[in-house]
């Protein structure tokens, strides 16, 4: 499609997404699943093959399972039984999820797999297209694109989402504040060949001035990371192999003979968050909305989860089913998640500082992690499995992600996440509550009704333990519970209709 090729609606597309990173690609796929037309514009001419992230956590694996694409990721990565909080090991085994263990997988592989899925769904990605201008009016947003090679073009769309990373142009052009705390340390990262490493795995080895890691990345390659706390580098200075070598020698007393760098980068512990995730027709997601110290491997995960929260809401508004105000719930629900992410990574950065007092604090903290409740609390936070959105109901599942229980339908055996593959809301009746069908009749065009049985009396829920199997659930496309009925009582169909209206828009046929 050409930039100024305006269709009969006066729009080039429904949604323009800036940035083809993990967040932008996931959002594009969610929108396409809901039948929304979307164009992703990406400033790069092609992928660099570089990988910042090296892993995905439980909730992201569940989200991919909810869309039926998890096997592709499992086949390309490796499950590992542990995670960490500031280098102190957390045990993930036995956590209440079908996918409790973190998956080690390079960001470049994650992006390739998401891009393949996006292509299957008909997402258009426009490479070499940098967002350089944004204008909003009553009906639309006009995105101006430019590259060194081509004359600027424009795309007119109903909405634009900035998934364009920590230095987001979309955020800046929209005048959205990015308050937070500045960096207090400097980390250097290099993917190098490392012939003289005395051990296979060095992780956050503490020494005077900071700590360093050397981790096997893939055959023949190691990732070396140094973290120094006595200075803060200028974020615009380029990082070089020599900087990394000098830093490693300062910390480890040797450079382990490292050579042949294929990627050198620098990062710090600055932590900032967009004051608003929505400004009219412009929204932000992923690193564009939050940056932080990459401790515990959470940023990509939270970005993908932002996308899954926003996708179905934006689709519903674009299709004219839900009012625009539904988009405000994206900020209401996801801003606190980002805030907690900044908070926990600030804590991890502080705990990683050098010095004898910090050694003592880490020892105390390390003993606390041995307590099952502390381990459970921290892994719930790092995996984002404990996220609960504000909910009107006091049912323990309301606002939480639904457990992936095994189910029997009249025709088949299935499980909850399989029901979510089409990314549509599901009204799940587990006790043959005939009145639910009547109550939800007006939403039949947009909500799938499923009658099933769960053979388990109780369902496992992270951060809670076990709860009695509910009688019925209204599940949003992102897997969070919009309404729940407890076993034993009479389902509150009035509350069900309120939830249907709140999340999926009013209906004329009630």
Ligand X SMILES: Cc1cc2nc3c(=O)[nH]c(=O)nc-3n(C[C@H](O)[C@H](O)[C@H](O)COP(=O)(O)OP(=O)(O)OC[C@H]3O[C@@H](n4cnc5c(N)ncnc54)[C@H](O)[C@@H]3O)c2cc1C
User: Could you tell me the two tokens for 202?
Assistant: 């060095």
Query: According to the binding rule CB under 6 A, does residue 19 interact with ligand X?
Result: yes
Cα torsion through 222, 226, 227, 228, rounded to 10: 180
> Which of 303, 425, 462, 479 is the binder for ligand X (CB under 6 A)?
303
Q: Which of residues 48-67 bind ligand X (CB under 6 A)?
A: 52-55
The enclosing H or E element of 187 equals strand 186-193
Toward ligand X, which CB reaches closer, 289 or 428?
289
CB of 18 to ligand X, least distance (A): 5
- Tell me if 212 sits within 8 A of 255, measured CB to CB: no
Q: 61-89 burial, b if ≥16 CB within 10 A, otherwise e? A: bbbbbbbebbebbeeebeeeeebbbbbbe
Residues 178-217, mask of contacts with ligand X (x by CB under 6 A): -----------x----------------------------
Toward ligand X, which CB reaches closer, 382 or 416?
382
Measured over the CA atoms of residue 102, residue 379, residue 458 and residue 409, the dihedral's sign is negative
Toward ligand X, which CB reaches closer, 56 or 474?
56
Query: According to the binding rule CB under 6 A, does residue 77 interact with ligand X?
Result: no
Q: Which of residues 263-282 bind ligand X (CB under 6 A)?
A: 267
Query: According to the binding rule CB under 6 A, does residue 87 interact with ligand X?
Result: no
Toward ligand X, which CB reaches closer, 217 or 439?
217
Task: Give strand pairing partners of 400.
Answer: 388
Cα torsion through 467, 471, 474, 479, rounded to 10: 40
Residue 431 phi/psi, 5-degree rounding, is -135, 20
Query: According to the binding rule CB under 6 A, does residue 42 interact with ligand X?
Result: yes
User: How far is the C-alpha of 469 from the C-alpha of 486, rounded, in Å?
Assistant: 8
User: Could you tell me the two tokens for 45?
Assistant: 């001419």
> Which of 3, 13, 16, 23 is the binder for ligand X (CB under 6 A)?
23
User: How far is the C-alpha of 263 from the C-alpha of 217, rounded, in Å?
Assistant: 12
CB of 1 to ligand X, least distance (A): 17
- Tell me if 210 sits within 8 A of 227, measured CB to CB: yes
CB of 177 to ligand X, least distance (A): 18
Q: How distant, in Å, are the alpha carbons of 168, 310, 325, 335, 393 from that of 331? A: 17, 9, 11, 5, 20
> Which of 1, 6, 44, 438 is the binder for ligand X (CB under 6 A)?
44
Interface region with ligand X, contact rule CB under 6 A, candidates 134-142, 293-301, 429-437, 492-500:
293-301
CB of 506 to ligand X, least distance (A): 33
> Which of 41, 105, 153, 495 is the binder for ligand X (CB under 6 A)?
41
Residues 137-166, mask of contacts with ligand X (x by CB under 6 A): --------------------------xxx-
Query: According to the binding rule CB under 6 A, does residue 131 interact with ligand X?
Result: yes
Q: Which residues bind ligand X (CB under 6 A)?
A: 18-24, 41-44, 52-55, 107, 130-131, 163-165, 169, 189, 267, 286-287, 294, 297-301, 303
């Amino acid at each position: 499609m050409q930039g100024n090729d305006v269709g009969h609606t006066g729009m080039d597309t429904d949604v323009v997404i800036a940035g083809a990173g993990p967040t932008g690609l996931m959002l594009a796929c969610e929108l396409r699943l809901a039948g929304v037309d979307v164009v992703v514009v990406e400033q790069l001419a092609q992928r660099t093959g570089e990988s910042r992230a090296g892993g995905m956590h439980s909730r992201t694996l569940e989200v991919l399972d909810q869309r039926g694409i998890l096997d592709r990721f499992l086949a390309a990565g490796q499950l590992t039984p542990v995670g960490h909080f500031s280098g102190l090991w957390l045990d993930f085994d036995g956590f209440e999820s079908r996918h409790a263990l973190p998956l080690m997988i390079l960001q470049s592989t994650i992006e390739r797999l998401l891009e393949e899925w996006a292509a299957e769904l008909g997402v258009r990605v426009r490479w070499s297209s940098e967002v350089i201008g944004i204008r909003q009016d009553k009906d639309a947003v006009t995105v101006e694109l430019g590259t060194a090679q081509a004359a600027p073009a424009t795309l007119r769309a109903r909405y634009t989402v900035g998934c364009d990373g920590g230095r987001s142009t979309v955020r800046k052009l929209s005048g959205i504040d990015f308050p937070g705390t500045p960096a207090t340390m400097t980390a250097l990262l290099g993917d190098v060949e490392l012939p003289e490493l005395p051990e296979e795995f060095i992780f956050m080895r503490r020494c005077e001035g900071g700590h360093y890691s050397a981790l096997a990345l893939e055959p023949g390659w190691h990732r070396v990371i140094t973290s120094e706390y006595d200075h803060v580098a200028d974020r615009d200075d380029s990082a070089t192999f020599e900087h990394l070598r000098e830093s490693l020698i300062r910390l480890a007393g040797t450079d382990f003979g490292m050579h042949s760098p294929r990627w050198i980068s620098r990062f710090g512990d600055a932590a900032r968050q967009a004051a608003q995730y929505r400004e009219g027709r412009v929204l932000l997601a992923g690193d564009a909305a939050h940056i932080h110290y990459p401790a515990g491997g959470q940023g990509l995960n939270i970005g993908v989860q932002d996308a899954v929260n926003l996708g179905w809401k934006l689709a519903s508004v674009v299709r004219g089913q839900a009012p625009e105000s539904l988009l405000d719930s994206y900020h209401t629900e996801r801003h606190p998640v980002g805030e907690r992410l900044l908070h926990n990574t600030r804590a991890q950065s502080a705990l990683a500082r050098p010095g004898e007092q910090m050694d003592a604090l880490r020892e105390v903290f390390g003993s606390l992690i041995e307590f099952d409740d502390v381990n459970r609390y921290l892994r719930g936070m790092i995996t984002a499995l404990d996220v609960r959105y504000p909910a009107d109901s006091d049912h323990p599942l309301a606002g939480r992600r639904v457990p992936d229980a095994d189910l029997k339908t009249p025709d088949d055996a299935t499980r909850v996440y399989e029901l979510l593959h089409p990314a549509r809301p599901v009204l799940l009746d587990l006790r043959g509550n005939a009145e639910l069908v009547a109550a939800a009749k007006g939403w039949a065009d947009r909500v799938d009704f499923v009658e099933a049985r769960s053979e388990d009396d109780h369902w496992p829920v992270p951060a809670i333990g076990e709860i009695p199997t509910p009688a019925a659930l209204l599940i949003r496309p992102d897997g969070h519970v919009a309404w729940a009925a407890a076993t034993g009582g009479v389902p509150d169909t009035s509350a069900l209709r309120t939830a249907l209206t709140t999340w999926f828009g009013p209906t004329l046929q009630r």
